[in-house]
Structure 1
Amino acid sequence: MKEMNIFRPRIPSGHQLRPINESKQLKNQFYNQRTTVYSTKNKEDVYIQSNKGKQKQEYNQGSQTKQQILNRLCDLEQLTFRNIKEQEKLKQQKYDSLILSKNQLFYCKSESYEKIDDKRIKIQGKRYLTELDINFNPRYLIQEGKFSANLNTRDFKFEEGNEYLGKSNQIKPQEKIENQLQQQSEQNKTKTSQFRAQSLAPSRIIIREQGIIVNNYRNLQIKRVNKKVWCKYNQQINERDETILKSKNWLTSSIIDSFVFYLNLESENQYFKTSLDKQEDIKRILFLPTTLTTCFGKSYDFKKAQDLFQQELLQFQEMNFEIKNFYTKVGFPINKNNYHWQFILFDYEKNTVELFDSSKYLFDQNLIKTLQKLLNLENAQVIENTDFGEQNNGYACGYYVCTFMLYFYQLQFPSQFQCPQKIYDEENITKKLKEIIKNMEPQ
């Protein structure tokens, strides 16, 4: 996977970088210094003065910019830092730097960096945060403007600017933002645990089941219908889905997309648990839900597909949707005409498109070409993969697709997962899916 190079600040003559296990001491020393950066025609002069004001040192080094100071702080805090404008395609982008942490992307203008105190900084940027409830349903928070940040705690406090409605580019009215900030202050930043996907602080969830509308956000208990419905991993799940897994029937999109969301969250967790020096070795994979390609419909043009694709990956718009800067592989579970499940894997490193089908059905060639164009892999080699065997019944295609995804998820972290002797294990994948869709909310 092509990763953007990470800046490493140049060290003045006579100085040495300390070992990583001394980073805490070095971090405290760095935070306890007042930093001023300004430009001249020939160099960047960085003055570092102690809080006591007794000493003053001048570092004459052209590379010591605010971006590199910010990078150094991130490095000390074990935060992943990217230089956006290093790539020619991204030189015109609004932000020049990106700070990544679990479930959060923070794009920023490094030149706006200012120190507040020993722990906090001021900076301008745009924040994409995903908050999760007890059932791992997301609430998307997008804010853009001025922030105060504590890099140690990964906390970016929104001070001034625009907030967006859910996962969209639609700006929330300023009055709502002010009221929201006031409420946060009064409640001492108490976070509620009841979030729902792409919702705007909802007070209820409306669920349609057998034509009956029921409003009951608190316990999601369906009245007048003898069925329980809940939300898990951004999908509406009901007792029928549990019955499907118990009786080995054809998997629904809700089950498969729950698994997609689960795998992406687990990948994120494992990636950010890894030290910075080892993150570069991880060949990350992103799975996209079945609903994306299903929403293309039967008759679609590239513009429609592109709009849906970019909405799904809105958090990468500041990177011009160049997701190869983050992932080596992108996987798509495909619902073929509502009667069969297939899987397509795009590999940036190998420049290939691999097709996985447990029954050897034909793939939609127009869909493959559309996805290749969206991912900028139009010249990739298309390969049919038959390493996983064939199903011997009429329902297992979905279980095979989930097996494909689990296998490639585990390949990201070879030190943690051993390759099983039998790759397709229907009993094991069924057990895992049952656990994933299980309702975690109090009954």
Structure 2
Amino acid sequence: MGGALHLHSKEGEGSTFTFMLPLQAGSTDHAAARPAVPAPVATTLPVAPGAGGTRRILIVEDDPFFSHLLADFVHGRGYTPLVAADGEEGLQLAQLEAPHAVLLDVMMARMDGWEVMRRLRADPRTSHLPVHFISCLDEWQRARDLGALGLVSKPVSREQLAQVFDAIEQAWAGALKRVLVVEDDESQLSSLAALLAGRDIEVVRCKSGRAALELLAHSHFDCMVLDLGLQDMSGYEVLEAVQAAPALRHVPVVVHSGQDLDREQLRVLNRHARSIIIKGRHSPERLLSEVQLFLHSVEQGGHAVEQEALALAGGKVLVVDDDMRNLFSLASLLGDRGVQVVEAENGQEALDKLAAEAGFDVVLMDIMMPQMDGYEAMRRIRADARFKELPIIAMTAKAMPGDHQKCLEAGASDYLAKPIDTAQLLSLLRVWTRR
């Protein structure tokens, strides 16, 4: 109907929804539905209107007048604008809204465009995004060195903006990835396909193991999402067949299962799959994150994974968690990056491992465990002079107010809330191992 819905929200104060419709139904004049441009307040996260195409363009610009002009142009190209008034806000929108490209200013308060670009490239969720700078600075080479498509200097003509979008669309043309989703439950299959679709991903659906192997043998796929409980053959048999075919071993496999797996099953799966996700409340978010991580690694020719491997390879990490699924998931993630992983299932076992072995670079410590919880384990570790400076990253599923401070007081160097964000974990490990 040519309308729009705007949201302005501030934590602790509330939200304002603005619903706009043209006076004449079916009007082709979309002027009334143009996105509102917020004042540059970091705590406001504007959500763009639904009209204007399926692809979303994130505009990070602190000049309200110019950001409004850019939003008009984005609408005119058939896309949906997302508007951020500064760099920090832009990063939040990039992580929350999964845009398809970014138009980025440089000179902004709190965080300039160069730093925004570095953080976008450092996060696997956003490292693939086409980014084009629009700035009053003339530093084209610096923009390209950071991985941007280019830089145009203000003032910008419509012809220059058209060239910017030509470059973005060319980047999109080469970025489509194919994912094979193997699931025999029709509702689950539809949900997974909807979750992955629309993010420069072509989703191919499949309900049986044999059909999946046939598709893999005759088509190219960048990733496979596999359920274990198939009707014609088990997911384990599919994995074994994939591993037996040299041409298919490179395809990353994300196992997405509702089965309660024992230790031996997890060991088998970790030999063949890149990631294991148990179906549950947070599994869709983690599945999307894992698939995007693998696809972006493929897109960069493995460069992102190689960089991580260079930063982490040769390290030794003690992983302390009473949930076997978490232990094996973290062991697989870190093992792929050349990290030696030692496992412990409770605080006392962690103390025993530290006493028996030398050379640990970091400890990943779960909090809620039987026998001895993470708080007590960290206090005892810090009481030993040998481990005064050993980095300890606490992991907890509670994420209640005060948990962060409680972890630090017990001896943690840093803190992660579950479900663990893969990119954040790897970033913290790189920081603490360098120290």
In the superposition, the TM-score normalised over structure 1's length comes to 0.28
Higher helix share: 2
Higher strand share: 1
